């Protein structure tokens, strides 16, 4: 095997798993004689993660490290890894060993068969809360209903991508990133292998509800303009309802009934329509916020330090 495989691993407060992650990855690489480089990204963790990475980089020249100036989030960390990767193919994997490194040879195998993207699809998920299982399941179904492209269900970022795909990916500079969707969007020959997702090796999830919601909304708003169409339809519906009400009151007046003006009906109407208005403004706001983020044109991440990298990336601070 002569192809170089880059392994991209984002880390955020992973001092409990960093060493084990390296050990497992390294033994798979040596066992299968894979020419490799590791790109570990410290996404602004303030614990011992960076110390461990520093030590790994000093002992093994295959270990390249990017240290972010602050927490930029999982998706930006993976983006940095892809930007810096030199491999003929790039594997994206979580640090917590929920994605078994032992599957990497299978991913590489499929890639060699001529697929430019091979993602790993979860058959089962161990050690996840009921809440996470249910929300994840329905999220992907909802997302596929909403979005304009097909995004594989029950799939994380664990996958291998060809350097051609990475090249296209680098040209996609959108700020609020939803990588699994972006990679589907690219096209090429894509396939998957199935696996059972393990429990986290140690530590806790770095995706609290707030980050999950942000991530979910990036998936929806970046890949669909259906919410805007929905709002338009709601607007049309309310116009129709109000025309109906107008006609009704005119007819009632002409016929001569003197109906008592009802407090309840007015309150219901006011709260219903103001609810719809706020919802619509919120949805429009989601898109505007994203346009605003793009127009600022800030870097997606800031590198504080890099280890074992032979040349400066375009993102390196002067
Ligand atoms: N992660 C990151 N930055 C963040 C949050 C998470 O780099 O702001 C990394 C984390 O260290 C892990 C991966 O992203 O390697 C997935 O996170 P986690 O396992 O906590 O998510 P879960 O599996 O619970 O969805
Ligand atoms: Mg995890």
For residue range 45-55, what is the model confidence (pLDDT) as tens digits? 999 999 999 99
What confidence score (pLDDT) does residue 85 get? 94
Burial of residue 269, with CB atoms counted within 10 A of its CB: 0-12 exposed, 13-18 middle, 19 or more buried:
middle
**Residue 206: CB within 6 Å of ligand 1?**
yes
**Residue 156: CB within 6 Å of ligand 1?**
no
Distance from the Cα of residue 266 to its chain's centroid: 44
Nearest ligand 1 atom, CA 78:
7
d(CA 110, CA 253): 74
Contact 81, 42 (CB under 8 A): no
Structure tokens at 176: 């609020």
Q: Which distant-in-sequence residues (6+ apart) come within 8 Å of 208 by Cβ?
A: none
What confidence score (pLDDT) does residue 235 get? 79
Contact 52, 126 (CB under 8 A): no
d(CA 116, CA 189): 5
Residue with CA at minimum distance from ligand 1 atom 3: 74
Ligand nearest to the CA of 207: 1
Nearest ligand 1 atom, CA 94:
15
Between the CA of residue 299 and those of 77, 78, 86, 293, 302, what are the distances in Å?
12, 14, 21, 11, 7
What confidence score (pLDDT) does residue 264 get? 66
- Which SS3 state, helix, strand or coil, does residue 159 take? strand
> Among 186, 184, 144, 147, which residue's Cα sits nearest to residue 165?
186
Question: Given its phi and psi angles, is residue 206 left (phi above 0), alpha (psi -120 to 50 degrees) or beta?
Answer: alpha
- ipTM for the predicted complex comes to 0.94
Ligand nearest to the CA of 43: 1
What is the pTM (predicted TM-score) of this model? 0.79
CA angle 86, 180, 156 (to 5 degrees): 100
What confidence score (pLDDT) does residue 196 get? 81
- Stretches where the chain sits below pLDDT 70 are 1, 127, 258-261, 263-264, 311-318
Q: Which distant-in-sequence residues (6+ apart) come within 8 Å of 182 by Cβ?
A: 169, 172, 174
């Amino acid at each position: 095997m002569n192809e170089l495989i880059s392994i991209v691993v984002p880390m955020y407060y992973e001092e409990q798993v960093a060493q084990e992650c390296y050990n497992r990855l390294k033994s798979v690489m040596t066992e299968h004689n894979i020419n490799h480089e590791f790109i570990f990204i410290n996404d602004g963790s303030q614990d011992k993660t960076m110390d461990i990475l520093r030590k790994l980089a000093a002992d093994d020249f295959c270990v390249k490290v990017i240290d972010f100036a602050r927490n930029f989030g999982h998706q930006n960390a993976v983006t940095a890894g892809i930007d810096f990767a030199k491999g003929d193919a790039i594997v994206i994997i979580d640090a917590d060993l929920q994605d078994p490194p032992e599957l990497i040879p299978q991913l590489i195998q499929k890639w060699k068969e001529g697929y430019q993207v091979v993602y790993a699809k979860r058959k089962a998920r161990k050690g996840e809360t009921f809440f996470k299982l249910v929300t994840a399941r329905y999220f992907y179904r909802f997302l596929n209903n909403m979005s304009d492209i097909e995004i594989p269900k029950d799939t994380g970022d664990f996958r291998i991508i060809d350097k051609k795909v990475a090249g296209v990916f680098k040209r996609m500079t959108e700020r609020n990133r939803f990588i699994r969707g972006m990679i589907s969007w690219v096209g090429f020959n894509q396939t998957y292998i199935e696996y059972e997702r393990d429990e986290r090796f140690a530590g806790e999830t770095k995706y609290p509800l707030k980050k999950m919601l942000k991530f979910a909304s990036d998936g929806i708003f970046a890949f669909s303009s259906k919410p805007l169409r929905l709002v338009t339809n709601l607007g049309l519906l309310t116009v129709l309802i109000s025309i109906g009400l107008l006609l009704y009151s005119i007819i009632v007046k002409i016929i001569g009934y003197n109906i008592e003006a009802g407090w309840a009906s007015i309150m219901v109407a006011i709260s219903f329509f103001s609810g719809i208005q706020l919802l619509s403004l919120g949805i429009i706001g989601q898109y505007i916020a994203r346009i605003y983020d793009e127009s600022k044109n800030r870097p997606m991440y800031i590198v504080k330090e890099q280890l074992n990298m032979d040349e400066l990336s375009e993102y390196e601070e002067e």
